[in-house]
Amino acid sequence: MFWGYKPPWYKRGPASNARLDTVLKSSPFWKPLLTRRILVPAEGWYEWTGEKGAKQPWFIQAKDGAPILMAGIAGWYPDAEMDAARGFAIVTEDAAGGMVDIHDRRPISLAPDDALAWVDPETPVEDALELLSTSRPGSAFVWHQVTPAMGNSRYQLADASEPI
């Protein structure tokens, strides 16, 4: 799937993140996607701190080592083209606790049972939106600095998430 969503009428570039406050307001941008809920599984994600030219990447992962199940919404449907109009976005919320020192936003990470309900087409939109308030707390995550080489998207070595 294309990471980013851009409806045909939207004049700017694709949005890769859907802010929770905007999603909850039934924004015309996101409302059509609320019945196309997805999960984005990950071992963790990266954020950067510092000034331009000297950014320090950080790897954030679940403290318990379990996969992170990020809530997402998508314009995709079976047999659709893989383009921005049928792409997806990860739903994000304000960061809290010590994580806010790394970045002011974070993906909504759901516990396995909530994640299953999130993607269940039988879950009404209103109930699905309530699940977004059950995101795993910031205390469920740990983070550490990783090699600054991660600032280059071509960097694909095995040490990409190892602490420095």
Whether residue 66 lies inside any domain: the answer is yes
Do the domain assignments include residue 2?
no
User: Token pair of 156, please?
Assistant: 């694909």
Residue-number span of the structural domain to which 31 is assigned: 17-161
**Would you write out the chain's pLDDT as a tens digit for each of its 164 residues?**
999 999 999 999 999 999 999 999 988 899 999 999 999 999 999 999 999 888 999 999 999 999 999 999 999 988 888 999 999 999 999 998 888 888 999 999 999 999 999 999 999 999 999 999 999 998 999 999 999 998 888 999 999 999 99
Residue 21 sits in a domain whose CATH number is 3.90.1680.10
> What's the Cα-to-Cα distance from 109 to each of 43, 51, 66, 123, rounded to whole Å?
11, 28, 11, 18
Check residue 153 and give its pLDDT. 85
Query: Does 9 map to a domain?
Result: no
Q: Answer whether residue 146 is part of any domain.
A: yes
In a domain, 79, yes or no: yes
